[in-house]
Amino acid sequence: MTILAPATVEMTRSLYANVRGRRRAVVEATQAGVAAGADLIHQGLAPAACGRWSVTFCDGQLLQPGDVLVEIEGEAFELGVAEDFVLGPLGFASGVATRARAFREAAPQGLSIACGGWKKLPAPLKPALRAGLAAAGLLPRLVAGDFVYLSKNA
């Protein structure tokens, strides 16, 4: 999650001061892939006005170049703020989903693939990795349900 400091918000506001009126922006796919991260894009996380967002995709949806993922309406300043809260989570989760799907498609039928690497990521990145894995049909753990893990170093 990105937190904009008040000075950053004011700088962004000053950059767009002469751009008047409401605008519409879209986030669209630039290449084929798998969409992920719809639940990570929350307007409530933005510390300032960020326009109105409309998520137009579902996690796991196959994308083609030009497919619209998010529509944003607002003042130019609001679009600039929204960019900080939409592109990062969406790009990270969708990138993971696209690559994870390639692994899943290359695996033999019935083979279960898990990714335990999320444990080593900084906490703010874990939800995006998990969203990408889920969108591609991969598991974040080796087994479903409760289990006891005995470390080799225990």
| DSSP assigned state of 108 | P
Q: Where are the domains of the chain?
A: 6-136
Average pLDDT estimate for 30-54? 88
**Are 90 and 40 within 8 A, CB to CB?**
yes
- Under CATH, which number does the domain 6-136 receive? 3.90.1170.20
Taking alpha carbons only, the member of 55, 40, 35, 54 closest to residue 2 is 40
- Measured between alpha carbons, how far is 95 from 88 in angstroms, rounded to an integer? 10
- Exposed/middle/buried for 12, CB within 10 Å: 0-12, 13-18, 19+? buried
Question: Tens digit of pLDDT for each residue in 76-95?
Answer: 888 888 888 899 999 999 99
Q: What is the pLDDT of residue 149?
A: 63
State both tokens at 59: 């996690």
Average pLDDT estimate for 114-131? 87
**Are 69 and 57 within 8 A, CB to CB?**
yes
Question: What percent of the chain clears pLDDT 90, i.e. is strictly above it?
Answer: 45
Q: What is the pLDDT of residue 73?
A: 94
Mean pLDDT, the chain, whole residue set: 85
| DSSP assigned state of 7 | H
Strand runs (DSSP E) across the chain, as ranges? 22-28, 33-34, 52-55, 62-63, 68-75
Q: What is the pLDDT of residue 62?
A: 98
**Are 122 and 42 within 8 A, CB to CB?**
no
Q: What is the pLDDT of residue 97?
A: 97
